[in-house]
Structure 1
Amino acid sequence: MNKTDRLLAIVLQLQRKSILRAEDLAATFETSVRTIYRDIQALSEAGVPVVGAPGQGYSLMEGYFLPPITFTAEEAVTLLIGTDFIEQRFDIDYGIRARSSRGKIEAILPEHVRSEASRVRKTIRLLASKEDISSGQNREYIETIRRAILEERKVRFGYSKRMPEEDGNRRSVREAAPYGLVLVQGSWILIAQCDLRQDIRHFRLSRMTDLTVLEDRFKVPSDFNLHDYTPLDDRNTRVSILVNPDIADKVKESNNFYMEAAEDHAEGLQVNFRVRQPEELLHWVLGWGADVVVLEPESFRNRVRDEAEKMFKRY
């Protein structure tokens, strides 16, 4: 980044945040603190009202606002593709606003930038996942949960787990305080404080039914930050399989959530997983037929063999 671009970026950073230290700016722009000092001096000499508070940092004088700036074609494409993504992945309400934003962005672009952005966008396409195509309910649930989060109201829903509980049931009714929504590998996940488990739990929207917003209110703990939140990883069981070389690429492209490593060997592709229970991989492994062999653990190898024998008897 050259000096001119950095000076503009510094002003934009100060405009977004109330106060920033020289060390923060240096880290953001990957330069030295001394360089930031010189940049601040250059901005002040150019008439930008930067105020320095000893021991606190820099801020812009109240009332100062940088007027709208011109986007490059690449920046415009980035924003326009962002609106495409939101329209496709978020709820209907945000989809409408994404289309509106796209129109406003295109309207303010100079003709040559608009033409170049249009040419680049024609070479890029976002395709919805199968889950997005098959479930309009997801979008309704996103909007409902989003509003519940903003209004700080609890939600109730039926939930079907992949693996049965200790009592053998897969389905339960939950009441929870919704903290946030996360998009993981194409699937929307609700992060919420579950009343039943008295702890933070993750709920896949595609497994929810009968979602209802309750009158009960909640407060997000002051020490909870969705962007900093890291769930406890309790996947302590390792599973290793050997894949026929003919389908190795397909297995890699399947992008299984539990996959940790894959290594090519003379006899095939060895893939390692980390799971809570090996049964979480049962149907996935069986789906590859005889082209996949479980190496370990032995108990899971036997489980797959028993299931295969049951399948053989059915045919």
Structure 2
Amino acid sequence: MKITHYLRQRRQAVTAKQVAEAFDICQRTVYRDIQCLMDSGVPIRGEAGVGYTIDKKYYLPPITFDADELEAIGLGINMVRQWTDDRFAEKAASAFAKIEAVLPTALQGELKQITTYAVLNQPIRTWSVSFSELREHIRAKTKLEIEYVDQHNHETIRVINPLALFFFNPVWLLLGWCEKRQDFRNFRLDRIRSTAITEQKFVDEVGKNLSAYLVSVGVCHE
């Protein structure tokens, strides 16, 4: 089950060695467990020299959560409702309703006893671009042309590979690989005047992707 979750979270193929290191098990155990999953019908594909991938359309059967896990999920959904847009907030509410629907009776009461909340301590800087559409362009790897106004009120046109959205209260930032600067740049959503889809796709290049950025700022290691 954990291996299936792990594969679903990866954008690229992962090797047996990477899976073994992630779960602190030997590669022989990885081969055995993945073969068992494949034999049971889980759509995992393995290619020699490349690694394993899973069909992202595959969904796991409902699972249960303990009280702390439900608390964490409730907190996350509360944050999404407050700090994103209506469209994404609806998705968060929908996800929570699905979780509630499959919970065993013994845990139903835990949802009504959540005691961890996130409260805005200052208003979010509003934006005019579509938060949800930006997320779609990130997933689709579509280049964007943005009209941006910096802190000195200078306007520039940038073509970027949108990579992620980060929240630094009270602002949201769009991380992108900027073709003009040939480097990573963060763009405040409230300073983006407009966006235009270029219809061009970009690939997940080494040194220009989200993983490289996270390494560069010390969030994760190579």
Segments of 5+ residues of structure 2 without an aligned counterpart are: 218-222
Query: Which residue in 2 is equivalent to 1:225?
Result: 209
Residue 125, structure 1, aligned to residue 87, structure 2: no
Residue 109, structure 1, aligned to residue 98, structure 2: no
Rounded to whole Å, the distance in 2 between the matches of 1:195 and 1:15 is: 30
Larger radius of gyration: 1
Secondary structure, counterpart of 2:89 in structure 1: helix
Preserved contact between residue 71 and residue 116 of structure 2 (Cα < 8 Å): no
Residue 74, structure 1, aligned to residue 68, structure 2: yes
Alignment match of 2:127 (pick from 138, 148, 151): 138
Equivalence map 1:1-315=2 (5 Å) = 8-13=1-6, 20-37=14-31, 39=33, 43=36, 48=40, 66-119=60-113, 121=114, 123-132=115-124, 135=125, 137-138=126-127, 142-143=131-132, 145-146=134-135, 152-159=143-150, 161=151, 170-178=152-160, 179-186=162-169, 187-192=171-176, 200-206=184-190, 208=191, 211-214=193-196, 216-220=198-202, 222-223=204-205, 224-229=208-213
Rounded to whole Å, the distance in 2 between the matches of 1:100 and 1:31 is: 36
| Paired letter, 2:148 | F
Rounded to whole Å, the distance in 2 between the matches of 1:231 and 1:55 is: 25
Preserved contact between residue 15 and residue 51 of structure 2 (Cα < 8 Å): yes
Secondary structure, counterpart of 1:228 in structure 2: helix
Rounded to whole Å, the distance in 2 between the matches of 1:81 and 1:94 is: 15
Rounded to whole Å, the distance in 1 between the matches of 2:83 and 2:90 is: 12
| Paired letter, 1:172 | H
TM-score by length of structure 1 reads 0.51
Which digits, 9 at most, give the CA deviation of each residue in 1:169-194, with x for residues without a partner? Answer: x2211212241343254232223455
Which digits, 9 at most, give the CA deviation of each residue in 1:28-70, with x for residues without a partner? Answer: 11123344456457x47xx635887666656789x99753333
Deviation at 1:220, TM superposition (A): 3.2
Which digits, 9 at most, give the CA deviation of each residue in 1:220-239, with x for residues without a partner? Answer: 35413123325978xxxxxx
Q: 1:199 to 1:13 in 2, by over 3 A?
A: closer
Using the aligned pairs only, state the percent identity.
27
Preserved contact between residue 129 and residue 195 of structure 2 (Cα < 8 Å): no
Deviation at 1:205, TM superposition (A): 3.0
Preserved contact between residue 181 and residue 188 of structure 1 (Cα < 8 Å): no
Secondary structure, counterpart of 2:158 in structure 1: strand
Aligned residues: 207
Q: 1:142 to 1:227 in 2, by over 3 A?
A: farther
Q: 1:38 to 1:13 in 2, by over 3 A?
A: same
Preserved contact between residue 193 and residue 200 of structure 1 (Cα < 8 Å): yes
Rounded to whole Å, the distance in 2 between the matches of 1:83 and 1:156 is: 31
Q: 1:28 to 1:96 in 2, by over 3 A?
A: same
CA RMSD of aligned residues (A): 4.1
TM-score by length of structure 2 reads 0.68
